[in-house]
Copies of this chain bind each other. A is one copy, B any other.
Amino acid sequence: MTKPRQQIPKATVTRLAFYLRELQQMQRSGLANIQSRSIAERLGLNDSQVRRDISCLGTVGQRGVGYRVEELIESIQRVLGTDRNWNVILVGVGNLGRALSGYRGFQQQGFQLVGAFDSDPAKIGSSVGSLTIQSLDRLPEFARSNQVDLAILAVPADAAQSVASQIERVGIPGILNFAPIAVQASSSSRTIIQEVDLAIELQRLAFSVVPKSN
């Protein structure tokens, strides 16, 4: 009875990822069962919302008891697509790129860094973690001989669009864009681009913090 994935609201997808993170914590601390109210409390949400979100998974709880943590984890991963491994490349090995490459959280959720690219000759050949930085020119060849699922784009703003287009052209289906400018997918490609900006997160927080006048 799983809902077609397509119908799952974006907002629900985001919350499911947060539920997953909490559930994994709970599992590590030995918890086997959980109630919607408890998930809601941990995340500052409404328990109706949690139940409704979970109902998109197909997985069902037990009335009077709750949900099995393990089952919930598995079905969220199935819906998000993280029940399998994802091969990710890093494009742009500046300060941010280097930091992202070492971020443990990616691997923990099944995202494996399999390549690192830069266009700066001074960087090519040096290493980032266990990877050797390759010339961006080698991306097409690399993508042909390796399955690349996602690209993390962390180049300067003025290079972002051009590099994104190159990534698109080699057929990589998703780009997580950390460059501080929006990039567009060409209308002909199926590449999905998602924007992330850490400064924007701070700005949203700043807005919430400023005492509201009126």
Contacts and interface: CB of A to CB of B under 8 A. Distances in A.
Interface string A68-111: 00000000000111100010100000011011101111101101
A54 B142 CA distance: 44
A22 B195 CA distance: 13
Contact of A214 (B4, B17, B81): B4
B95 A180 contact: no
A46 interface: no
B195 A18 contact: yes
* Stoichiometry, copies per complex: 2
A5 interface: yes
A184 B200 CA distance: 22
Given A42-B184, A174-B209, 6 more contacts: A44-B182, A88-B202, A95-B102, A105-B180, A173-B209, A194-B208
A209 B171 CA distance: 12
A17 B200 contact: yes
A190 to B, nearest CB: 9
A124 interface: no
A184 B14 contact: no
A105 B199 CA distance: 6
B111 A182 contact: no
A52 interface: no
A205 interface: yes
Contact of A201 (B20, B149, B180, B194): B194
